[in-house]
Amino acid sequence: MKYYKVTWEVDIEAESAEAAAVEALSMHRDEESIATVFEVSDMEGTKKIDLDAVCSSCGFPCASNTAHLHQGEYIGECCWDERLKITE
């Protein structure tokens, strides 16, 4: 395991700081939300990770630029294993 620092930023217009935080929370909890872009930093630097796809195997979000397109559906790194590689 490695340590990562994950950052999510969003611009929100609200009546107060607390209202802005509440709005941010609801964006995170909304499955349809576009709040899917994170900055992930490690010792080597910072990457932008956009979880814009869904792994068709486990249903978890995954990044379409690293996911594997398998029979027309995305398979995330989470579920991409030797068994699937063979069927590619």
Of residues 53 and 55, the one with the C-beta less far from Zn ion: 55
Of residues 23 and 77, the one with the C-beta less far from Zn ion: 77
Calpha distance 37→19 (Å, rounded): 22
Site map 67..86 versus Zn ion, x via CB under 5 A: ---------x-xx-------
Under rule CB under 5 A, which residues in 4-63 are in contact with Zn ion? 55, 57-58
The least distance separating Zn ion from the CB of residue 69, rounded to whole angstroms, comes to 14
Query: Do β-strands 37-42 and 53-54 pair in parallel, antiparallel, or remain unpaired?
Result: unpaired
- Contact residues: Zn ion, CB under 5 A: 55, 57-58, 76, 78-79
